[in-house]
Structure 1
């Protein structure tokens, strides 16, 4: 039996803080996302505790009467606890040196381990069709775990929202972008 996890990047938001809400366009995107999944079976929804991730999946949750589970491990990766004016270059460097970390932040390997743990546990659960709603950087690290070609450039090409399907059958994981 194959199991599927839909890995979703949140819709457009008003910033990066944990309490940043979706924009007006983001709320419209959340409705389009719910429409996109109309014909797909969903057993379970797990999301980051960040408001924008929760708001992204609420329309689908309400339509399908599916409970939203919050998992702290799906929160966006912390690059640093201080403001980094050159954050873009620093983030890029963390894709080259996966153990590189800045001022109380997480290395790429640490963040990857955190989100991969959620996915591996989900693959072992009873659910056949699970949604995981998270954020661009940590989502990219998750996908990199299953496909070594995923890199910083891949992250720059993500959209809000974005959807990938991870499937496992006979212990083989496949990855496919399913959002247009």
Structure 2
């Protein structure tokens, strides 16, 4: 019996420099969220989990509402804490920092988390979801790096190169038998 996890990376969200948790979707991100709803409405989704960050919740909210489901926010699914104060990393510093973080999974910027720390908290929630929902179809509203780290835990195919080619939004259907990954398919929008 297979369990399917639909990793939904959030839609476009303007970087305002404010609190990362409260950053919502841009108008394009809202349109993209409607595409996510259209694409997943017939997938037989049983449950919804999400990062508590507004942009992740908003990307899957219309689908959950349409299907009469609640979204369960989980703090462990939040975006990686990049640096002290939970501020976003400036664009010109992002790729060099990611290269360091992928070269040394224990490397962290001052006040931030390492890839190992972020991966450990997110994968634990994913394993809990798999145990709670065997044979079901589950949507997880997530962030690019957190998604790549969760997927990378199960297969080395999902490293930095994978992360850099993902889109906003993006959907990956992961098939599990128990806690063993048996396949991944990108769902086109």
Q: Do the structures match in fold with TM over 0.5?
A: yes
8 Å Cα contact 1:79-1:91 kept in structure 2: no
Where does structure 2 lack aligned partners over 5 or more consecutive residues?
none
1:56 aligns with 2:59: yes
**Partner in structure 2 of residue 131 of structure 1:** 139
Please state whether the residue corresponding to 1:101 is helix, strand or coil: coil
Distance apart, 1:178 and its partner CA: 1.9
SS of residue paired to 1:4: strand
Q: Which has the higher helix share?
A: 2
Equivalent residue runs for 1:96-175 within 5 Å: 96-126=103-133, 128-169=136-177, 172-173=180-181, 174-175=183-184
Asked whether the equivalents of residues 146 and 175 of structure 1 are also in contact (C-alpha less than 8 Å), the reply is: no
Alignment RMSD (CA, Å): 1.7
Question: Relative to 1, partners in 2 of residues 1:62 and 1:94: Cα closer, same or farther, differing over 3 Å?
Answer: same
Q: Tell me the SS of whatever aligns to 1:124.
A: helix
Deviation at 1:179, TM superposition (A): 2.8
Higher mean C-alpha deviation, range 123-132 or range 68-77: 123-132
- The 10-residue stretch of structure 1 (165-174 or 126-135) with the greater mean CA deviation from structure 2: 165-174
Which position in structure 1 is the counterpart of 2:94? 87
Contact 2:10 2:141 in 1 (8 A): yes
- Give the distance between the partners of 1:33 and 1:126, measured in 2 at CA: 22
Count of residues paired in the alignment: 180
Could you list the runs of 5+ residues in structure 1 that have no partner in the other structure? none
- 1: distance between equivalents of 2:178 and 2:141? 25
1:3/1:158 Cα in 2 relative to 1: closer, same or farther (>3 Å)? same
Residue 50 (structure 1) shift: 0.6
Alignment correspondent of 1:13:
13
Q: CA deviation at 1:154?
A: 1.4
